[in-house]
Amino acid sequence: MGRQDEGSRSRLQRARIAAVAARLMAEDGIADIALARRKALRNLGLPETAEMPDSNEIDAELRAYQSLFQGQEHGAELDDLRRKAIDLMVILQPFRPYLTGSVLDGTAGQHAEIDIQLFVDSAKDVEIFLLNRRMDYRHSEPRSDRAEAVFTLCLDDTVCNLVVYPAQAERVTFKTRGGKVRRRARADAVRKLLPGPTGEPEHG
């Protein structure tokens, strides 16, 4: 009985942490799940040794929160982010661009950043391309050992990260820290996620 009680308390605590982390991600625009978890711990006054929810649990809570509290507003913001991503991917077509992250999977919050993967022989080619087009950017720290560089720029007040990988890495399946396959999509596939003129999903 004691072990059952302990297990129930552990599940309840994980659920509380996941719910607070999801709210922080939705309302404050925190994109890093690990950071959201740490902030949730502090908000709840729990020790760092507390059992933490995994990324799948937080992702489920985030989707539920957005559906319940943000509804149509979230949908409109998400569509806008996806349109901006498509515009940028069209410009970056020579570098095999793919949209990934929260803008693709639908969990992007109000202050979400657009993450686009590029697959090229040399990151220098991307940098020269941006310079020639007079697109202002800054260098950011790669979040993955596979990435050769990250160029961060702003598109109508939206932060966009161009994550550059070697060309051969395009055939590699990337995974999140939680072990899930990291989805990615070309511009044509992203267009199909947008509503058509009648509000129905576009096809073709």
Produce one character per residue of 13-45: b if its CB has 16 or more CB atoms within 10 Å, e if not.
bbebbbbbbbbbbbeeebbebeebbbbbbeeee
pLDDT > 70? residue 11? yes
Out of 15-29, 89-103, 116-130, 158-172, pick the least confident. Answer: 15-29
| pLDDT for position 199 | 44
Which residue has better confidence, 139 or 145?
A: 139
pLDDT > 50? residue 204? no
Q: Are 78 and 106 in contact (CB under 8 A)?
A: yes
- Where are the domains positioned within the chain? 2-70, 73-191
By percentage, how much of the chain surpasses pLDDT 70?
85
pLDDT > 90? residue 10? no
Q: Are 103 and 81 in contact (CB under 8 A)?
A: yes
On whether the pTM is more than 0.85, the answer is: no
Out of 32-46, 112-126, 138-152, 154-168, pick the least confident. Answer: 32-46
CATH topology for the 73-191 domain: Beta Polymerase; domain 2 (3.30.460)
| pLDDT for position 203 | 40
Q: What's the CA gap between 29 and 22, in Å, rounded?
A: 10
**pLDDT tier at 107, thresholds 50, 70, 90:** confident
Q: Are 184 and 117 in contact (CB under 8 A)?
A: yes
Q: What is the average pLDDT score of the chain?
A: 84
